[in-house]
Structure 1
Amino acid sequence: MNKLISIVTPCYNESENVVELHERIAAAMAKLPYDYEHICIDNASTDDTVAKLKAIAATDKRLKIIVNARNFGHVRSPYYAILQAKGDAVIAIASDLQDPPEMIPEFIEKWEQGYKTVMAVKPQSQESPLMFLVRRTYYMLITRISDVPLVQNATGAGLFDRAVIDVMRDLDDPYPYVRGLVSEIGLPIATVPFKQPRRKRGITKNNFYTLYDVAMLGITNHSKVPLRLMTMGGFAVSILSLLVAFFYLAAKLLFWDSFQLGIAPILIGIFFFGAVQLFCIGMLGEYIGSIHTKLRKLPLVVEAERVNF
């Protein structure tokens, strides 16, 4: 019996892309000696994405659809679909065609070589140069401060062996950073570099909040460095403040009539320390929010409907 490959494509309002997505995945898998299932999880689209998927599923039983009861976000929904897959390996790619389905044979080739995880990385991209620079800088930062080495410039697309999926399922993380989680697991990781194409149809669902959410998720889940920097920074600033205070006290005692303290250093000090405190409180809030999310243990998603399962 041939091994089964599960291909997971999360989507939200991708009506203009799902037909081509299905065709290109089918064409890529036709070249390979494996059975496959294509699981498309829809995050409560408001266009006719689900209707188009159902029309395809009526003629192709390999296409399986999960329709969420509401939009459960860009982290929980794809992860839930990965855990529902039954394949010996699970491939996750975006529905916007910026992760080309033609990479699937390369993922499987690396898997056949013994790698348990294969990650797509984009050393080049046709997206905005400014956004690409921001992403690249973030990946360099998170790699430096993470407790484990992370794969730089990973897009989130890739292949996960059944052994990796089983570990993910046992961890039962309600809000995971998958790109960091696979590094935490520690099984061998291969990379497939590609030049990410520009989105041709539809609009991106990412905005400042979603990008910030993923960035903070990567930091709070995989690094204690910010907390320790706040501790060491607070200690250093307190020592500096004490030295400055002693300097002003000595200067005032020695030159009582001629030395004027002035209001400028007082205001600068107040605003500086206020900014430092707000930053530290905000960073602590991110960690507390991450703990709160994990303690609530809400379901990853609630399904409204399944097709072809």
Structure 2
Amino acid sequence: MKKISIISPCFNEEENVRACHEAVRALFEGGELAGYEREHIFSDNCSEDRTPAILREIASKDPCVKVILNARNFGPFRSNFNALRYATGDAILVFLPVDLQDPPELIPQFVRHWENGIDVVAGARANREESLSLRICRGIFYRIVNGLSDFEIPMNVGEFQLIDRKVWEVVVAHNNQYPYIRGIIASCGFNRLIVPYTWKARRRGISKNNLMRLIDQALNGIFSFTNAPMRLCTFAGFGLAILCIAYALVGILSYFILPDYAPRGTMTIIIALFFFSGVQLAFIGMLGEYVTAIHAQVRHGPMVVEREKINFGTEGSDKRRDAPVAASDSSPA
């Protein structure tokens, strides 16, 4: 019997974890996926409400549910990627949110496409039950990333994707301290099918994504897979240098030809000083993004520190199964 693994990160989701578990279980027990074995991995990011207690209760009654309790909040991407490395299924649903904004009803359709030979079945949020401003910002982000990257991240595709075991092996082999998972999957290649769906509005609880976290995720996506920002800085530096030389030549010529109209005075100096200072600070900021990512990577710290694992048994001691994972990350505390 083939096994389907499903990854569900959560943080302060006491109102949603039971509904998520029941929705998945219904698909496998008497539902469209009755002929498959189920593995549902919840990764709790140090919730401050009753989420850990509810997960313990669910796991005690359902051996197909596995739970990872993080020692602190490590952010959604690292928590998701760490749980992903524990998956043992023949196909793996990379991310199913416990708030069910990405609909679990699509999982049987994903599995059918996978059985027909598709390595990556990706859900695309063709319609979003969210504000127009957020939809516009997301559209701009995808266009920027795809314009700068050497590969395409499909528009409106997040981590709600079913991947084959061989794709999983390549994905989890990445030793990245801040993994941008949808970008990693896209960079791996393989044959891919896009399935559009409606991204539902949250029915219970409050979203944990705020504006700063969304900006952080967007910057991570941009700086993780391209050096185009630094190359832009290089070209802009040369361009500004040429403009400065041209401006100086114009100033010298105008002084001799049209002395009354020649640029002079402290105002010109102040404007030029502040303009070039702003440009330098912007370039230093871009450079800092890369330096920060390199610094986090070379320190070789654990991606996630785990406080407790439930229902893993002996297999939980080897999160790699068949795929290689960097030794520094293979045994978090």
- What TM-score, normalized to structure 2? 0.89
Structure 1 residues 21-170: aligned runs within 5 Å: 21-29=20-28, 30-32=31-33, 33-91=35-93, 92-170=95-173
Identity across matched positions, percent: 41
Give the 3-state SS of the residue equivalent to 2:193 in structure 1: strand
Aligned counterparts of 2:191 and 2:217: Cα–Cα separation in 1: 24
Counting matched residue pairs gives 308
Letter in 2 for 1:253: F
Q: Is the 8 A contact 2:251 2:263 kept in 1?
A: no
- 1:195 aligns to 2:205 (yes or no): no
Shift of 1:93: 1.2
Structure 1 residues 210-289: aligned runs within 5 Å: 210-256=213-259, 259=262, 261-289=264-292
Deviations 1:144-174, CA, capped at 9 Å, x for gaps: 1111111111122111211112112333222
Aligned counterparts of 1:21 and 1:158: Cα–Cα separation in 2: 17
- C-alpha spacing 1:117/1:259, structure 2 compared with 1 (3 Å): closer
Deviations 1:176-218, CA, capped at 9 Å, x for gaps: 2111111211111222211111111111111223212211111
Aligned counterparts of 2:300 and 2:216: Cα–Cα separation in 1: 18
Identify the residue that residue 327 of structure 2 maps to in structure 1.
none
Q: Write out the 4+ residue segments of structure 1 that deviate beyond 6 Å after TM superposition.
A: none
- C-alpha spacing 1:188/1:253, structure 2 compared with 1 (3 Å): same
Identify the residue that residue 173 of structure 1 maps to in structure 2.
176
* Greater mean deviation of Cα atoms: 8-17 or 111-120: 111-120
Letter in 2 for 1:179: R
Deviations 1:262-302, CA, capped at 9 Å, x for gaps: 43333222222111111111011111111112112221211
Shift of 1:225: 1.2
Give the 3-state SS of the residue equivalent to 1:299 in structure 2: coil
Give the 3-state SS of the residue equivalent to 1:141 in structure 2: helix
RMSD (Å) for aligned C-alpha atoms: 1.5
Q: Is the 8 A contact 1:65 1:306 kept in 2?
A: yes
Q: Is the 8 A contact 1:117 1:159 kept in 2?
A: yes
- C-alpha spacing 1:260/1:207, structure 2 compared with 1 (3 Å): closer
Identify the residue that residue 291 of structure 1 maps to in structure 2.
294
Letter in 2 for 1:150: I
Give the 3-state SS of the residue equivalent to 2:85 in structure 1: helix
* Greater mean deviation of Cα atoms: 255-264 or 231-240: 255-264
- C-alpha spacing 1:245/1:113, structure 2 compared with 1 (3 Å): same
Shift of 1:258: 6.6
Aligned counterparts of 2:263 and 2:149: Cα–Cα separation in 1: 48
Q: Is the 8 A contact 1:123 1:194 kept in 2?
A: yes
